[in-house]
Amino acid sequence: MPSTPRPLRRLGFLTIGLFDAADPGRGHESTLQLIELGERLGFDSAWVRHRHLQYGISSPVAVLAAASQRTRRIELGTAVTPLGWENPLRLAEDLATVDVLSGGRLNAGFSAGPPMHFERVRDALYPDTADAEDFGYERARRLVELVRGRPASGFSGTEGFEVFSDVVQPHSPSLGRRLWYGGGSLSSARWAGEHGLNLLTSSVVRAQDGDGPQDFAAIQLSLIREFRARHPDGDAARVSQGLVVIPTDSATPGQRARYAEYAAGRLPRTASPQGPARLLFAPDLVGSSAQIAERLHAHAAFREVDEVAFALPFTFGHEDYAQILTDMATVLGPALGWRPAR
C-alpha cells in the first residue's frame, strides 16, 4: 500500500436518473440538468446507471446522446450496461454513434452475467432463444472486439447503389480505449485486465472464500491489484472507484437529517455478505468534506486509485443532488487533491 494516497486526478459522479412514472420527462430532464451542472462545476465525468423495468434510466445511450448536445467538455459514461439485455453488435453501433456525437467523450461501462430476475423476463426478452443465450464473458468479448474494429461481416464493398462495411459504423477508433468493465469479483478483475479494459469498482464486491480478505476495503484492494497485475499497462491501468459519498457542508439541517437517516437504513447490509451471491456492501460516506476525506484517505482501495465516480443516493430530489454535487466539486474534491477542469 502506498504510504500516502494518490492525489485525486479525475472526479466524476454517477446517478440512477430516477423519475415519476406519471411524469417521466421531468426526471429525465433533471438528469440532463445535473450533467450540465457537473460540467459547470468542473467535474471530469458524469455517469448514468442502467435499469430495466424500473423507474430509472433504461436507455443510457439515448440519455447520453441528449447530454452530448447540451455539454461540450465533460465525459459521459454508462456504469454499467448489463450485456445480458443487449445484442453486442447493435450496442456497439449505438455506443460508437454517441461517441461521434459527443466528440469522443463517451466512457462505455458494461458487465457480463444473466439479466437480473431472468426467470421473470426471459419470455419477453428472449422468447425463442433464452436457453441458447450465452451471458458470460464471451458476450462481453464480442462487444469489445466489435467496438475495436474487428469485422462483423465477411462482406464489404458496393452492392447496387449501396456501400457496405465489414466493421461497425460509425467506427470511433479511440472508443476501444474507453471501455470499462464493472467488476466486483477476482474473476471479473482478471478478465478485464487480460482484455486491456479499464476497471469500474463500486460500493459492492463479492465476498471471498477461504483465506482471502474479508472486509470491503481489503477485498476491493485485492481486485484492483489483481486487475493491474493482468493488464498490459500494469500499475498505470485505469481504475475508477464508485462509493456512495454525501458531503453535507452546505446542506440544510433538514437535508442533513434525511441523509443520515438514509445511510443508517442501509448500514445493516454492510455487516456481512448478503444473499446467495455473498455480496458485500460499503457503508455510505456521509458528513463534512473534511470527515469524508479523512475516511477516504484511510480506505485501502481509495489509496490505490486516482479516479472516482462517486455515486449519488437513489431516492433524493433534484435540489439535494445539486447541493451534493456542489460540495463535491468545491470542497471535497480539493480536499482530496483534485482541481476542477477548465
Interval 276-296: pLDDT, tens: 989 999 999 999 999 999 999
Q: Are strands 45-48 and 75-82 parallel, antiparallel or unpaired?
A: parallel
| Whether the Cβ atoms of residue 46 and residue 35 lie closer than 8 Å to each other | yes
Domain that holds residue 327: 10-153+165-335
Q: Is residue 40 predicted with pLDDT exceeding 50?
A: yes
Cis check for the bond before 268: say yes or no (omega within 30 of 0).
no
pLDDT at 241: 98
* Partners of 66 in beta bridges: none
pLDDT at 4: 56
Residue 160 lies in a domain: no
Residue 341 lies in a domain: no
Residue 107 lies in a domain: yes
Q: Is residue 3 predicted with pLDDT exceeding 50?
A: no
Number of structural domains (the chain) is 1
CB-side neighbour CA atoms (13 Å) of 272: 2
Q: Is residue 210 predicted with pLDDT exceeding 80?
A: no
**Cα distances (angstroms) measured from residue 118 to each of 53, 84, 85, 114, 307:** 12, 9, 10, 7, 33
Angle at 26 between CA 22 and CA 32, to 5 degrees: 145
Lowest mean pLDDT among 167-176, 254-263, 265-274: 265-274
- Determine the straight-line distance between the first and last CA of the chain, rounded to whole angstroms: 32
Residue 3 lies in a domain: no
Q: Is residue 196 predicted with pLDDT exceeding 70?
A: yes
Residue 183, C-beta contacts closer than 8 angstroms, at least 6 positions apart: 111, 189, 191, 192, 199, 200, 201, 223, 227
Residue 134 lies in a domain: yes
Q: How many other β-carbons are positioned within 10 Å of the β-carbon of residue 84?
A: 21
Residue 105 lies in a domain: yes
Residue 133 lies in a domain: yes
% of the chain with per-residue pLDDT over 90: 94
Residue 296 lies in a domain: yes
pLDDT at 208: 84
Model confidence pLDDT, tens digit, residues 123-134: 999 999 999 999
Residue 331 maps to which CATH number? Answer: 3.20.20.30
Q: Is residue 152 predicted with pLDDT exceeding 60?
A: yes
Question: Whole-model pTM?
Answer: 0.96
| Whether the Cβ atoms of residue 184 and residue 226 lie closer than 8 Å to each other | no
pLDDT at 12: 98
